[in-house]
Structure 1
């Protein structure tokens, strides 16, 4: 990931990351141009999903299977064996 200095447009160096959550972080940056010398904080945040994680899907399926009664779980196993 490349962060650009808002003062001059040069590449900035990320010196510190303050992770506020899994979806948001503050990046403490400094401009790589010694003549500019701008230091600043920029925010990095999660926007939206394009393709869901297969880990998430597996976790959802596992939770749903655990919520079934033993009879329902056995019926599900039989149906899956038909696939």
Structure 2
């Protein structure tokens, strides 16, 4: 991603990012031109989907379950059987 300084138009560097939510971040930037030296905050946000994810919610849940310890997996199976 290329960030341009809004003051002089030169390339800028992202120094830090602060994720506010899954689809929105603040980018703390500074101009690379030492004569300018402008520092500023840009916003990065999710706009819209062009192609949906190939991962379904079932697949995502299964991947999360695989990260649990075997005892936690057994406990979850027992709880699910009560539904």
Q: Which has the larger radius of gyration?
A: 1
Aligned partners of 2:60, 2:31: CA distance in 1, in Å? 47
Is 1:52 the counterpart of 2:14 in the alignment? no
- How many residue pairs get aligned? The number is 61
- Backbone CA RMSD of aligned residues: 1.9
1:68 — aligned with what? Answer: none
Deviations 1:43-67 (A, max 9, x none): 0000000000011xx226999xxxx
1:1-83, aligned counterparts within 5 Å?
A: 1-55=1-55, 58-59=56-57
Aligned partners of 2:22, 2:60: CA distance in 1, in Å? 23
Structure 2, unaligned runs of 5 or more? 62-83
Instruction: Give the ranges of 4+ consecutive aligned residues of structure 1 lying more than 3 Å apart after TM superposition.
Output: 60-63
The structure with the largest helix share of the pair is: 1
TM-score, L = length of structure 2: 0.68
Structure 1, unaligned runs of 5 or more? 64-83
TM-score, L = length of structure 1: 0.68
